[in-house]
Amino acid sequence: MKEFLQKLSNGHSLEKDEMRRAAHQLFNEETTDSQIACFLTLLKMKGESVEEITGLVEVLREKALPVKSSMSGVLDNCGTGGDGSHSFNISTTSAFVLAGAGIKVAKHGNRSISSRTGSADVLEHLGISLDFRADEINDLLSECNIAFLYAPHIHSGLKRIMKVRKELKIPTIFNLIGPLTNPVELETQLIGVYRRDRLETMARVLHELGRRRAVVLNGADYMDEASLAGENHLVLLENGRITSFTLTAEDVGMPHYPNSMIKGAGSSENAAILRDVLEGKEGAHLDTVVFNAGIALFAHGSVSSVAEGVKAARDSIASGKAINALQALVEYSQSKRKQVI
């Protein structure tokens, strides 16, 4: 680890192979907590490069729970968090809308870190398991169109690094890479980031990781979700080409809502919001989910425009297919518990 710390302290970036070797050292018991903290801090001070992010993600995915899927077109719509908006669980709710629209969704997520309620918190409240086996994840994608991958279960070797992160109390490279570490071989992806200056960087990492198509976005007021409150900044990755564009509610014929109307609360309140949206309760929550799901459908490539995606998202909810996707995942979890008993 010493050589990597020295190079970073001199302000130089690591090549991808160097970052891969450094990442393996992070898991080495001989590497001290102080060295891990120093490494993460130096990376942050310098600014993490595409090669550094890619190298670390590759190693984390290699060390994750091995999930082999032969399915094509699988998508994840996980955000980085860290925007401080305290919104309800927008991407989690959107995932069920996507599943209802026929998309295979491998939803990667965690408990609350920067928000009041993380995806795992709200899904657990709804009765969904957090410890699906690798073979169960494939079954879920096949039977329910959606599987939830709980980050601490998928990446069980990261406990010591997480401890160091909590002690540092500053954002590090790990605040950016969560959505990138999904062990499922994704073809497409929607990622929301809290840093607008990282949109193109994240798109280039997604290209290095083999994504055929993806959208990276930063919402109005720097949310890590698309917002109906103003101008959203997005980049589209398609076959290696990156295109930047902006998007507002008016662009897709949707109403304007201030972000104050989409704040979340505890797990029970956010679970109720999720159910209300999937059952078609009109308002800011539903429209925000439809907007984000529409962008995800565009990222997937199953629609040719976000406006077309918005229509498909509304149809998923109105037809009852979105709420059925939630119920299918709950029922699978219940049958899993009965087998254990």
Strands 188-192 and 75-76: parallel
**288-305 pLDDT tens trace:** 999 999 999 999 999 999
Both tokens of 129, joined, read 């398991």
**182-201 pLDDT tens trace:** 999 999 999 999 999 999 99
**Could you tell me which residue, 82 or 66, shows the higher pLDDT?**
66
- Report the range out of 66-70, 88-92, 263-267 with the highest average pLDDT: 88-92
pLDDT of residue 67: 87
The reply to whether 70 sits in an annotated binding site is: no
The reply to whether 129 sits in an annotated binding site is: no
Measured in whole angstroms, the distance separating CA 291 from the mean position of its chain's CA atoms is 16
pLDDT of residue 110: 82
**84-128 pLDDT tens trace:** 778 899 999 999 999 999 999 999 988 765 456 788 899 999 999
Percent above pLDDT 90 for the chain: 83
The reply to whether 341 sits in an annotated binding site is: no
pLDDT of residue 116: 60
pLDDT (average), residues 299-313: 98
The reply to whether 90 sits in an annotated binding site is: yes
Distances (CA, A) of 154 to 107, 158, 244, 280: 12, 10, 32, 33
| Sequence spans of domains, the chain | 1-63, 74-329
The reply to whether 87 sits in an annotated binding site is: yes
d(CA 134, CA 195): 32
The CATH number of 1-63, from 3.20.20.70, 3.40.50.620, 3.40.50.1000, 1.20.970.10, is 1.20.970.10
Q: Tell me which fold the domain 74-329 belongs to.
A: Pyrimidine Nucleoside Phosphorylase; Chain A, domain 2 (3.40.1030)
Q: Which residues of 210-244 are buried (b: 16+ CB within 10 A; e: fewer)?
A: ebbbbbbbbbbebbbbbbbbeebbbbbbbeeebee
The reply to whether 110 sits in an annotated binding site is: yes
Torsion sign (Cα): 286, 238, 66, 182: negative
On whether the CB atoms of residues 219 and 302 are closer than 8 A, the answer is no
**Could you tell me which residue, 80 or 93, shows the higher pLDDT?**
93
Over 60: is that where the pLDDT of 78 sits?
yes
The reply to whether 243 sits in an annotated binding site is: no
d(CA 235, CA 211): 14
The reply to whether 83 sits in an annotated binding site is: yes
Over 90: is that where the pLDDT of 33 sits?
yes
**35-51 pLDDT tens trace:** 999 999 999 999 999 99
On whether the CB atoms of residues 233 and 196 are closer than 8 A, the answer is yes
The reply to whether 102 sits in an annotated binding site is: no
pLDDT (average), residues 249-257: 97
**205-240 pLDDT tens trace:** 999 999 999 999 999 999 999 999 999 999 999 999
**153-162 pLDDT tens trace:** 999 889 899 8
Which among 169, 131, 99 has a CA at the least distance from the CA of 326?
A: 99
The reply to whether 225 sits in an annotated binding site is: yes
The reply to whether 108 sits in an annotated binding site is: yes
**Could you tell me which residue, 84 or 324, shows the higher pLDDT?**
324
pLDDT of residue 74: 95
Where residue 30 falls among pLDDT bands split at 50, 70, 90?
Answer: very high
Over 90: is that where the pLDDT of 340 sits?
no
The reply to whether 191 sits in an annotated binding site is: no
pLDDT of residue 331: 96
